Amino acid sequence: MTVEHNRVATAANSGICLETIGGEARLTLCRPELGNALRIEDIVAATRAIEEAGRMPGVKVLRLYAQGASFCVGRAAEAGARPSLAPESIRGGLVQPILDLYRAIHLLDIISVAQVQGDAHGLGCALMAACDLAVAASSAMFSLPEMHKDLPPTLALSAVLPNVHPKAAASLVLAARTLDAREALAVGLISEMVEASALQQRVDEIVTHTVARHPVAIKAVKRYLRAAGTPTYHTNAELAASLLSSAMSDIRADIQKSTNT
């Protein structure tokens, strides 16, 4: 049987690539030299690619894949204009694109599986956690380090908390813990842990199994998982976005005030 590969156009230089391989859509993070850190434009491109994958006829599974040694080390630092102090500007320019990314994964009626070959930190950790399944190499490490910069990672928590106990999530954020793959598996942050040499094969097996299933069966399971597993997802996500926007506004105002005195 011949499996057809089709590359789907994505934004130029976005660091994101989407292709279809039979019944699989594969979203690749392709800026390994930067640890696959995501800029806002990458986040927007990834969101559009995920939404497109969900609309593709015959596609039953989205594989989130990354090139290089790291899965995703978080959000990329971006130089630009002076940061806004207004919560609504922070919400529109920074918070909303990230919220839209997590929401796009949440709303998929196809299965999402993250193939985590390396470290996943901050945004990368939350992106992986937002997927239905996450299979990680035993060498991978996981963290939510935003509080080191006094950034409350409420958006990341909105993706992580449906999968882990609140105490485990609090430890990641407030105690600045970094989990190895075994610890991540124990708290529910990942679905499976395998040796790095077996990672590709294991995710291939999951994809093959999923592609063989009837799409109506997949959609029914996904809709039930959303309704029963995360019944307050949208409320929690909106609260996370509002809290982060307000906190960043207040923190920036304090920094500006201390700089001017």
Burial (CB count <10 Å: 0-12, 13-18, 19+), residue 2: exposed
Q: Do 128 and 190 contact (CB within 8 A), yes or no?
A: yes
Tell me the percentage of the chain whose pLDDT exceeds 70: 92
Query: Taking Cα atoms as reference points, which of 177, 153, 159 lies closest to residue 167?
Result: 177
DSSP states of 64-92: EEE-SS-SB--BPP---SPPP--HHHHII
- The reported pTM is 0.91
Digit-coded pLDDT (tens) for 141-168: 999 999 999 999 999 999 999 999 999 9
Collapsed DSSP state (helix, strand, coil) of residue 174:
helix
Digit-coded pLDDT (tens) for 161-214: 999 999 999 999 999 999 999 999 999 999 999 999 999 999 999 999 999 999
Query: Taking Cα atoms as reference points, which of 151, 188, 175, 8 lies closest to residue 74?
Result: 151
The domain defined by 5-260 folds into 2-enoyl-CoA Hydratase; Chain A, domain 1 (3.90.226)
Single-letter amino acid code for the residue at 38: L
